[in-house]
Amino acid sequence: MFKVETNLKTGEEIYKKVLSNGLKVYICKKPGYIKKVGMYGTVYGSIDNDFIDITTGERLKVEDGIAHFLEHKLFEQEDANALDVFAKMGVSSNAYTSFDHTVYFYETSSKHKECLNKLLEFVNTPYFTDENVEKEKGIIAQELKMYEDEPSSVAYYNVLRAMYKKFPLNVDIGGTVESVYRIDKEALYSCYNTFYNPANMFVIVIGDVDEVETVKQIESFFNKNVNRKTATVERFILEEPKEIAEKRIEKKLDVYMPYICMGFKHEKQDGKTNARNTVIMEIIDDVCFSALSDFHERMFNSKIITEPVEITYESGKEFSHTILFAVSKKHEECEKEIKTYFEELRQNGVDKELFEIAKKKKQGELIYDAENFMEIHRTVIDSIIQDTDVFEMANAIKDITKEDVDNFIRENLREDNMVISKVREKKK
């Protein structure tokens, strides 16, 4: 086990160990905190729909939404539901699925060791039957319906559809109601056996814990209880063309406020570059669009927006893109102003003084992040998926220059790689 070193003066203490079965374990110490969080995850998400089944050795293509379905079903054990088991202990538990990973977690103030064992146990004990699979479909269908009514969710998924022709980012993480109803237990087992193998998984423990004892507990669990095939997963990734899929997607919903997403499609990058680009984009967000910026003041004073436009960089091992979010009743004018603004930024770069203020702001953010109990898990998971240092992003902050930011805008936020997704009001 080793301590992840950092020259940041934020007081973060993180320990890492890779077990003999390939499982990556991270302990993020938070002295003095009452809460302890245990997370057990897999590098498997909605985009992993084409792979070699570890049991059969055959290539298998599965239905959209199966990673998310699996996440729902893993809580169900033969004699109990893990959610219930935790709840009966007074412990909250939950899980989520994203494009490229799935995480199961609990939060507790007092029963951490017991909970950690339970978490490892239930995720390692799949129990899928025709009956319990069928029952879940109605619940997931309602979850999907809920998101279909949320303008931000609809605009976001459509901007991904507009950018990606083939890569499965162009499908909702949960799939569709139709694809969900086609999922069966055999497919769930195939996905589980392949992706939920220790070499593809990780454990993160956050709280006032002893790192040596915690690692021993995890090692002991796996030595006694888990004897599954462990191997590197072979995934098939469709080659995504450089060009966007379509320039514009618009959808009408029963809402008052139109929602705009602007996407910029980039080529896939290595982890280090993605980490650096993430920080560059956070600076762009502060300098160019937040309430710090002249742009925001101008747009607000013209009554085009009431809330700041936001921009963010998203990436994984196989993709990267930038997405801008805006809400405006005057959505056509808003879109036009933003496009003109990007043209100006490409030509003139960002304001030097604001850039320096943004860097100072980021230094403060690092300390707040170190205090934020859950922030560290996002950073750790990113480093696992992209194979980078845990503090890659934080360390990048001091080296980034105004020229880096200007170059990024010029090279990556262009007209030709840009798409628009809008949710507009249905006129009654």
Partner 1 sequence: MKNIIIRNSNRFKSVFAQVNLLLPLTAEDMSKNALLAMMLKKSNSKYKTERELERKLAELYNTSFGAGVGKVANMYDITFGIEILNVKYTGKEALDEAVDILCTAICEPNFVDGKFDEKTFELEKSSLLERIAEEKDNKKKYALDSLEREMFKGTDYGYPLYGTAEDVVKITNEELVKHYYDVISKAEVVVATVGNLENMDGLAETIHTRICGKCGKHTVEFTPLVEQAINKEIETKVEEQDINQSIICIGARIKDVKTEDVYKARLFDNILGGTPAAKLFQNVREKESLAYFAKSMYNMFTASVCMFAGIAPEKYEKAKEVMLKQLEDIKSGKVSDIEFNAAKENLISAYKEKQDSKGGQAKGLFSNEIYFGRTVDFDEMIEEISKLTLDDVVEIANRVVVTNIFLLGGKADV
Considering only residues 342-361, where is the footprint of partner 1 by CB under 8 A?
A: 354, 357-358, 360-361
> Which listed residue (20, 55, 81, 232) binds partner 1 by CB under 8 A?
81
In whole angstroms, give the CA distance from residue 29 to residue 323: 33
42 in Cβ contact with 95 (< 8 Å): no
Q: Indicate whether 129 belongs to the interface with partner 1 (CB under 8 A).
A: no
Q: How far is the CB of 350 from partner 1 (least distance, A)?
A: 14
List the interface residues with partner 1, window 27-56 (CB under 8 A).
Answer: 30-35
Residue (of 243, 234, 249, 279) closest to 391 by Cα position: 279
Q: Which of 57, 364, 403, 427 binds partner 1 (CB under 8 A)?
A: 364
Name the segment binding partner 1 (CB under 8 A); options: 51-59, 209-217, 247-255, 264-272. Answer: 247-255
Q: Which residue in 5, 114, 130, 143 binds partner 1 (CB under 8 A)?
A: 143
241 touches partner 1 by CB under 8 A: no
256 binds partner 1 (CB under 8 A): yes
How many secondary structure helices (H) and strands (E) does the chain include? 15, 14
Residues 5-24, one symbol each (x = binds partner 1 by CB under 8 A, - = not), give: -----xx-------------
Q: How far is the CB of 13 from partner 1 (least distance, A)?
A: 13
User: How far apart are CB 214 and partner 1 at their closest, in Å?
Assistant: 19
Q: Which two tokens stand for residue 84?
A: 């219930």
Whole-angstrom CA distances from 232 to 21, 42, 285 are: 11, 12, 38
Contacts 24+ apart (CB under 8 A), 408-415: 408/277, 408/280, 408/281, 408/284, 409/284, 409/342, 409/345, 409/346, 409/349, 409/350, 410/346, 412/264, 412/266, 412/322, 413/264, 413/322, 413/342, 413/345, 413/346, 414/264, 414/346, 415/339, 415/342
Residue number with CB closer to partner 1 (84 or 332): 84
Phi, psi of 73 (to 5 degrees): -75, -25
Q: What kind and span of H or E run contains 112? A: helix 112-123
Q: Which amino acid is at 346?
A: R
How far apart are CB 88 and partner 1 at their closest, in Å? Answer: 4
Inter-residue contact 208 to 29 (CB < 8 Å): yes
DSSP β-ladder status, 36-42 and 102-108: antiparallel
Amino acid at 334: C
- Whichever of 142 and 401 has its CB closer to partner 1, that residue is 142
Q: Which of residues 300-319 bind partner 1 (CB under 8 A)?
A: 300-301, 303, 306
Give the binding range for partner 1 (CB under 8 A) out of 106-114, 317-325, 336-344, 396-404. Answer: 106-114
Nearer to partner 1, 71 or 286 (CB): 286
Give yes or no for residue 378 binding partner 1 (CB under 8 A): no
155: amino acid identity, one letter = A
Pattern 144-173, binding to partner 1, x per CB under 8 A? -xx-xxxx----------------------
374 touches partner 1 (CB under 8 A): no
